Amino acid sequence: MHPYYHPHFLHFIVYFNDNQDYFECHEVLEEYWKGQQDFSKEHPLTGYILMATGLYHWRRGNIKGATRTLRNALCRFQQMPAIYSDYKKEVAVDQVIQQLEKSLDRIESGECFTAFPLPISTALQHAAENEQPMQLLPKNSAAVIHKHMQRDRSDILLQREEKKKGSR
């Protein structure tokens, strides 16, 4: 199966293009990425994860986090290994790169958040549309924009405390 036709990537497309739920984009694609045999930070899926995370930060006003993350995403897309060139048939990577560059320019100019759609092939669009129905939160709702605030973060906070204790 082509990696872009995997259910997790199809869900990523729906979250990205339909309701701009960038937090869920990150979650669903990270799960898929970590299940790859060639799981590494150089894997092409990490560019998409970083892009969604950067857009999430920008929309929430975290300019520093958005800039850093979108720059990293841009580098991943620019350095996509030749062995993944068939990915470019399904997603217009050159257009993604242009959108990331425009987003970074907008951030630098102090402009407000601007979403953009993931440019995908007609076949990939049809596959995403035909994927099992998903419950989507309303686009631009507080539930989507501030999603990380609504989850149980106790495990993350505990890990941070343990890390601090270990570095003393």
pLDDT (0 to 100) of residue 85: 60
Residues in the chain, total: 168
Helix axes 45-59, 63-78, angle to 10 degrees: 160
**Does the pTM of the predicted model rise above 0.85?**
no
Percent of the chain with pLDDT over 70: 77
CATH number at residue 55: 1.10.3450.10
What is the spatial distance between Cα 39 and Cα 84, in angstroms, rounded to a whole number?
14
pLDDT (0 to 100) of residue 116: 97
SS3 content of the chain, % helix, strand, coil (to 5): 65, 0, 30
Lowest mean per-residue pLDDT among 66-70, 124-128, 139-143:
139-143
Record the tokens describing residue 104, joined without a space: 């970074």
pLDDT tens digits, residue range 47-101?
999 999 999 999 999 999 999 999 999 999 998 866 566 666 789 999 999 999 9
Tell me: pLDDT of 144 over 60: no
- Give the chain's domain count: 1
Q: Which domain holds residue 9?
A: 3-166
